[in-house]
C-alpha cells in the first residue's frame, strides 16, 4: 500500500505540474474574466456531473460564503443543487436539458458559465454551454483528456493532460481553489484584516 500511495501522489503532482506549466496564464485570464463580470453585475453559474457536480458546488460555496477571509457574498450558483428542478426536467423532458433549461431561465448576457467535464463530452454540459453561448454569456470549461467536444465550444477551455478521472478532478479542484483566491482577493482584498 505504501508504494501505491507514493505512486498515486507522484502521478497527481506530475499532472498538476504539467498543467500549470502550460496554463498558468490561462487560469489568470479566467480569474480576470470572472472578476470583470462580477464587477459589471454578472453572476457565475457552474455545472457538471458526479464529482464535477461536487466541484461546481464546492467552488460556488467558497465564493458565496468565504474562501480565505470574510467579505460580501460573490454571486456564484451551482446548477446541480435544486433537486426539484433536476428531477422535473429529467422526468418531463430529458437529463440532457438539466443545465440548459436553468441557463435559459437564469443566464444573461454578461454572466459567466463554467462547465466541468473530465471527458469533455458530457451531453448535458455540452447543452448547457450551447445555451450559455446563445444567451451571450462568457463560457469557460474545465476539462480533461483531449478536451472532447467542449474544448471547441467554450470561449476558454482549461484541459488537464490526463485520462485518469481522479487526476483530472484533483487538478480541477486546485484550479477552483486558485480561482476563488484570486477572485476574492481582487474584489475584496482591501477588507482583509
For 143, the 3-state DSSP assignment is: strand
What integer pLDDT is reported at residue 21 of this predicted model?
97
Q: What is the mean pLDDT of the chain?
A: 97
CA distance 88 to 84: 6
Domains of the chain by residue range: 2-191
What integer pLDDT is reported at residue 132 of this predicted model?
98
Q: Which helix (H) or strand (E) holds 48?
A: strand 44-48
Beta bridge partners of 117: 143
Residue 156: CA count within 13 A, CB half-sphere = 18
CA distance 104 to 97: 10
> Mean per-residue pLDDT for 110-131?
98
pLDDT 10s digits, 34-93 = 999 999 999 999 999 999 999 999 999 999 999 999 999 999 999 999 999 999 999 999
Residue 127: CA count within 13 A, CB half-sphere = 14
Cβ-proximal residues to 40 (8 Å cutoff; 6+ apart), any chain:
110
What integer pLDDT is reported at residue 152 of this predicted model?
96
Is 193's pLDDT higher than 80? no
CA distance 123 to 150: 9
Choose among 95, 107, 4: nearest CA to 50.
95
Is 114's pLDDT higher than 80? yes
Per-residue pLDDT band for 164 (boundaries 50, 70, 90) equals: very high
Is 95's pLDDT higher than 90? yes
CA distance 61 to 57: 6
CA distance 169 to 119: 11
What integer pLDDT is reported at residue 192 of this predicted model?
79
What integer pLDDT is reported at residue 191 of this predicted model?
85
* CB 27 within 8 Å of CB 148: no
Q: At what angle do helices 51-64 and 165-188 cross, to 10 degrees?
A: 10
Considering the chain, what percentage of its residues have pLDDT values greater than 90?
98
What integer pLDDT is reported at residue 41 of this predicted model?
98
In the CATH hierarchy, which fold is given to the domain comprising 2-191? Rossmann fold (3.40.50)
Amino acid at each position: 500500500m505504501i508504494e501505491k500511495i507514493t505512486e498515486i501522489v507522484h502521478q497527481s503532482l506530475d499532472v498538476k505540474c504539467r498543467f500549470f506549466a502550460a496554463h498558468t496564464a490561462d487560469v489568470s485570464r479566467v480569474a480576470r474574466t470572472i472578476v470583470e463580470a462580477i464587477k459589471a453585475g454578472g453572476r457565475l453559474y457552474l455545472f457538471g456531473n458526479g464529482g464535477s457536480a461536487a466541484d461546481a458546488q464546492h467552488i460556488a460555496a467558497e465564493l458565496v460564503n468565504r474562501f480565505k477571509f470574510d467579505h460580501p457574498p460573490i454571486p456564484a450558483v451551482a446548477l446541480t443543487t435544486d433537486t426539484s428542478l433536476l428531477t422535473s426536467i429529467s422526468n418531463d423532458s430529458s437529463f440532457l436539458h438539466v443545465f440548459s433549461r436553468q441557463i435559459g431561465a437564469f443566464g444573461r448576457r454578461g454572466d459567466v458559465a463554467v462547465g466541468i467535464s473530465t471527458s469533455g463530452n458530457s451531453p448535458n454540459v455540452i447543452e448547457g454551454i450551447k445555451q450559455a453561448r446563445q444567451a451571450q454569456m462568457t463560457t469557460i470549461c474545465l476539462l480533461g483528456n483531449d478536451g472532447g467536444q467542449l474544448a471547441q465550444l467554450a470561449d476558454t477551455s482549461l484541459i488537464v493532460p490526463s485520462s485518469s478521472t481522479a487526476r483530472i478532478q484533483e487538478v480541477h479542484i486546485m484550479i477552483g481553489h486558485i480561482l476563488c483566491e484570486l477572485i476574492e482577493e481582487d474584489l475584496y482584498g482591501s477588507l482583509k484584516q
